[in-house]
Structure 1
Amino acid sequence: MAGALFVMYAAVSLRLHQHMLTSSYDLGIFQQVVRSYAEGHLPVSEVKGQDFPVLGDHFSPILALVAPFYRVWQRAETLLAVQAALLAVSVVPLALWARRALGSLAGAAIGACYGLSWGIASAVGYDFHEVAFAAPLLALSLTALGNGRLTAAACWALPLLLVKEDLGLTVLVIGLVIARRGNRRLGTLTAVAGLAGTALALFVVLPAFNPGGSFAYWSLLQDPAAGGQGAAEGSAGGLLDVLHQGTIGLLTPLPKVTTFVLVLAPTLFLAMRSPLLWVALPTLVWRFASSNSLHWGTSFHYSLVLMPIVFAAFVDALVRRGTSGRGLRRYLAGSAAITLVILPSFPLFQLAQPETWRTDSRITVARRLIAMIPDGVTVQASDHLVPQLADRTSVGLYGSPGSRPDPQWIMVDTEVPDEQRGWPGQPLSVEAEQQSLTANLGNGYDLVALQDGYMLLHRRTTTRGSYQPPTTP
């Protein structure tokens, strides 16, 4: 099952990358991070800004584990394949737990429902993210916790501190559940380690590396206008406002309720009967307290860490109820039915769509123009072109104020519609982009190629004859 899921996940994400539907935020950023580790220095990202230290943005040193694979194959596809493997592996402990405790049918059904769940599908369909490491760690930790192996549960949980700064709070809750299950000393130590890890990351490490001297995302819990493109009119005014409103603040507006229902629906809401579900609380609180409406919904990768938690709680609840026979089969059938009903709305269903396997002629043109850019040069490019160049150039986002000025090459897709533009991936409107390109052409850049809306520019050098533009296609 893990092998089949790996093939599915990899096929979706690799095909999206081949269609140039991956983006600078976030595949481009993470590729630059992993490339930095592979080259033996602390991670920087030109997409975030000129020589921007990424350890000042999010605390995810676990990404260094991808560097050896990247040294073997220095492509964005390496990150996507690693993510597919991590997510596929996470099905194993949950399916084995269900099989041991509830029988072979339960193991197969719960493993398949988890592997095809919408939270995993959303993550697979949107670039690469560090939280892919959290999926197997949470599955292993919660499986151990559900089987009374409390030391193993703590040991699998602690590496979450290296995945992302907020997951220390998840470790904290796992520690509290361990304490409640009988090992108070171990549970207390785990909880303290989780809290201390998050505090150290938020108040020491991230401010030390961040050029602004503080954690960059506090504003999302304080100011509704700080959500950028994702800030919704009438949104909650950050964490204090949400806490003041109580449960109403956490579950309004409607997208929050929709997400909460969809998280629990594949388990027929039975996960709510397990104390393991408390482990999902930190992630749900920070997401629903954020003033960025993108955090509230079902898109992107934000629900990935919730999937192993709710399915572990599902297995735990079934075991606690002593469910067997016809009753167990009804729960499994219900879970499978809901999973299959939801599946077509999320990226895994693209495998069944013919257009997924066709190649647009514009993509062929784009790849030919990208091949004209030499290795090792500085580039500014459109959002979806950045991941195609991050393996062999120093590439930033065209039009971003933080990008390296006067790059040697510029490649822009001028046919990105206005409704797809905005912070952070496409910082310029169509009109502003046209004005900027006109200014480039009048200020030291030659037009190398213009075809199918792709525009390739090269900066003139002071050495006469050092570069001869090829014939425009």
Structure 2
Amino acid sequence: MPRPRPSGERDTAAVSGAPGARDRHRGIALTALCFLVCAALGLQSWTALRATGFDLGIFDQAVRAYAHFELPRSPIKNVHHEFPPGFSLLGDHFTPALALLAPLYWLWDDPRTLILAQAALFAAGVPVVRRIARHAFADAAPLVARRAADLGGLVYALGWPLLNSAYNGFHEVAFAVPFTLLMLERGLAHRYGATAFWAALLCTAKEDMGLVVGAYGLVLAVRAHRAGHRTGRATGAVLALAGPLLSALVITWFLPAMGGPEGYYWSYGSLGADPADALAHVLTAPWVLLQAAVTPFVKVAMVAWILGTLALLPLGSPTFLLAVPLLAERVLSDNPNHWPVINHYDAFLWPILLTAALETLARLHARRGIRSWAVTAIALSSAAAVVLGLGLLVRPDFWRPSPDKRPLATAAALIPDGATVEADNTVAPRLTARTDVVIADRTPRGADWVLLRVNDRTFPFASTEEQRQRVALLLAHGYTKVWHRDGTVLLHRTTPTPVPGAHRPGPDSTPVREAVPDDVGANLLLR
């Protein structure tokens, strides 16, 4: 005979009535909408040659290695950043969740597998968001709860952070989004064992997710204490301690044990040279935190955009606490890549912010002040979605490569399978499945084939003049031009003449950090 659950510890999913057939059909439609839009944006980027070696090519090589029962290695990442041969990406970021995608490569060995998988993972969050809305509006009338579920699902499905991530190809945020939602939903349903399970899985998405788990542990413990749930209080306390501890262990022990260089991603020079120095600096001069957070001003604009597109509603819920460590990582960072809102970073925040917004709306509904806030949030979020995603889908020119990129795909098809290649970052993902490819960068690598543009600047070169100089250097030292069109050049190495400055990382290689171009981070919406 099943043990009765303690008073108050009930799954609130059915409080407002079991969903009917029409409700389930709406949920299926919203899930399909999310998948189709995210998949379309990702495939649009692939077709138009906007999905690049950094990062789609890197993750494609890593997951392909998992599919062959190897550690996740990426020549694109390793060679460009001078990591030693055989370096595993598990020493770069703690992302074991990526191994879950390996079986998909047994079905279709292609980078577009990741694009579709990410769209599916994002779409899997739609029914979870709808359940979260029902939990939040458990005390409202059934009609209100249904409308909250539908609108919450719609805002999530077309959320600009998801559209941005889809547009950019693929990133480990694909797992962080559904894992975060499931952790939050199970907590609201008072299923504390399942909450801990999804919290543990969330920690496998990226090394800093333990901070999110720790923050949620505090929120869960307080809520459970107020509700008299001893199990929830204990679960929250464990998560509050275990999450940050796990992040600390991964960053200080696991990543270095896997070959990750100490302090490689430390981008808080305005606070201190390392974490210990930064802590001492903050304790003696706490105002440096505020100074770093608002300088340059684009950081303020970033936070205003992130919160403003949900009409500031997330600020009304304790769940917003989970977003604080992720926002702090960005506003205190010296790395300009962290400041715009056109990368994947905001997708980590989206499940948290939307859940907090729904909880705030539920509280406002109890006070009969919901309509204007809800309409404003939906309008702002929809406008951002149009600007940062939906508007791109209806533009025919965004479905075609630009004139400078179009010849790259033609030239890439001329490179034989199994060749070693230095390729323009733009076209590198087209070669990862069948060649040993790295991106062409500011150091010659001695590959058999080199594919590069010379009239348009490509990452990571500082100028087109550098690219032209590279081609001239190679032509003078053993390479022959076998194809060229509209500023795209394909070179083949025909003699073993040494190339001045050519270099491949060796066992004692010292990793180098990326030099960020001056125009990055200057504009909130600059792609």
TM exceeds 0.5? Answer: yes
Q: Please show how residues 301-380 of structure 1 align to structure 2 within 5 Å.
A: 301-323=344-366, 327-358=369-400, 365-380=407-422
- Which residue does 2:463 correspond to in 1? 429
- Which residue does 1:42 correspond to in 2? 71
Structure 1 residues 435, 357: closer, same or farther in 2, change over 3 A? closer
Residue by residue over 1:103-157, the C-alpha shift from the partner in whole angstroms, topping out at 9 and shown as x without a partner, is: 2222121211122222222212212100110101111111222343333322211
Structure 1 residues 249, 211: closer, same or farther in 2, change over 3 A? closer
Q: Please show how residues 169-188 of structure 1 align to structure 2 within 5 Å.
A: 169-181=211-223, 182=225, 183-188=232-237
- Does the CA contact (< 8 Å) of 2:155 and 2:381 recur in 1? yes
Residue by residue over 1:434-459, the C-alpha shift from the partner in whole angstroms, topping out at 9 and shown as x without a partner, is: 12211111212121101121111111
Tell whether 2:452 aligns with 1:412: yes
Residue by residue over 1:405-458, the C-alpha shift from the partner in whole angstroms, topping out at 9 and shown as x without a partner, is: 3111111122323xxx5xxx3235222221221111121212110112111111
- The CA deviation at 1:291 is 0.5
Following the alignment from structure 2 to structure 1, what is the Cα–Cα distance between the partners of residues 432 and 131?
39
Tell whether 2:206 aligns with 1:164: yes
Following the alignment from structure 1 to structure 2, what is the Cα–Cα distance between the partners of residues 191 and 346?
35
Tell whether 2:304 aligns with 1:261: yes
Tell whether 2:244 aligns with 1:195: yes
Following the alignment from structure 1 to structure 2, what is the Cα–Cα distance between the partners of residues 238 and 196?
19
For residue 216 of structure 1, the aligned residue among 258, 264, 267 is 264
Q: Please show how residues 14-413 of structure 1 align to structure 2 within 5 Å.
A: 14-50=43-79, 51=85, 52-99=87-134, 101=137, 102-181=144-223, 182=225, 183-210=232-259, 212=261, 214-218=262-266, 220-222=267-269, 240=281, 243-323=286-366, 327-358=369-400, 365-401=407-443, 405-413=445-453
Greater mean deviation of Cα atoms: 340-349 or 83-92: 340-349
Q: Which runs of 5+ in 2 are unaligned?
A: 1-29, 80-84, 138-143, 226-231, 497-527
- Does the CA contact (< 8 Å) of 1:169 and 1:282 recur in 2? yes
The percentage of aligned residue pairs carrying the same residue is 34
- Does the CA contact (< 8 Å) of 2:404 and 2:456 recur in 1? no
Structure whose residues are more often helix by fraction: 1
- The CA deviation at 1:398 is 0.9
Name segments (4+ residues, structure 1) moved above 6 Å.
none
Greater mean deviation of Cα atoms: 316-325 or 289-298: 316-325
SS at 2:433 equivalent = coil
- The CA deviation at 1:248 is 4.6
Following the alignment from structure 1 to structure 2, what is the Cα–Cα distance between the partners of residues 293 and 356?
26
The one-letter amino acid of 1:221's match is: Y
* TM-score normalised by length of structure 1: 0.87
* TM-score normalised by length of structure 2: 0.78
Following the alignment from structure 1 to structure 2, what is the Cα–Cα distance between the partners of residues 374 and 316?
56
- The CA deviation at 1:253 is 2.9
Structure 1 residues 365, 105: closer, same or farther in 2, change over 3 A? same
- Does the CA contact (< 8 Å) of 1:295 and 1:302 recur in 2? yes
- The CA deviation at 1:225 is 12
RMSD: 2.4
- Does the CA contact (< 8 Å) of 2:211 and 2:325 recur in 1? yes
Structure 1 residues 399, 92: closer, same or farther in 2, change over 3 A? same
The one-letter amino acid of 1:439's match is: L
- Which residue does 2:41 correspond to in 1? 12
Tell whether 2:482 aligns with 1:453: no
Structure 1 residues 238, 387: closer, same or farther in 2, change over 3 A? farther
- The CA deviation at 1:99 is 4.2
Following the alignment from structure 2 to structure 1, what is the Cα–Cα distance between the partners of residues 134 and 336?
39
Following the alignment from structure 2 to structure 1, what is the Cα–Cα distance between the partners of residues 121 and 381?
21
Following the alignment from structure 2 to structure 1, what is the Cα–Cα distance between the partners of residues 336 and 286?
17
Q: Which runs of 5+ in 1 are unaligned?
A: 227-236, 463-473
- The CA deviation at 1:400 is 4.3
Greater mean deviation of Cα atoms: 39-48 or 149-158: 149-158
Following the alignment from structure 2 to structure 1, what is the Cα–Cα distance between the partners of residues 255 and 456?
34
Following the alignment from structure 1 to structure 2, what is the Cα–Cα distance between the partners of residues 364 and 248?
45
Report the number of matched residues. 441
Following the alignment from structure 1 to structure 2, what is the Cα–Cα distance between the partners of residues 364 and 294?
27
Following the alignment from structure 1 to structure 2, what is the Cα–Cα distance between the partners of residues 330 and 426?
47
Following the alignment from structure 2 to structure 1, what is the Cα–Cα distance between the partners of residues 382 and 484?
45
- Does the CA contact (< 8 Å) of 1:2 and 1:92 recur in 2? yes
- Does the CA contact (< 8 Å) of 1:177 and 1:275 recur in 2? yes
Structure 1 residues 115, 324: closer, same or farther in 2, change over 3 A? farther
Following the alignment from structure 1 to structure 2, what is the Cα–Cα distance between the partners of residues 80 and 274?
33
Following the alignment from structure 2 to structure 1, what is the Cα–Cα distance between the partners of residues 427 and 382?
34
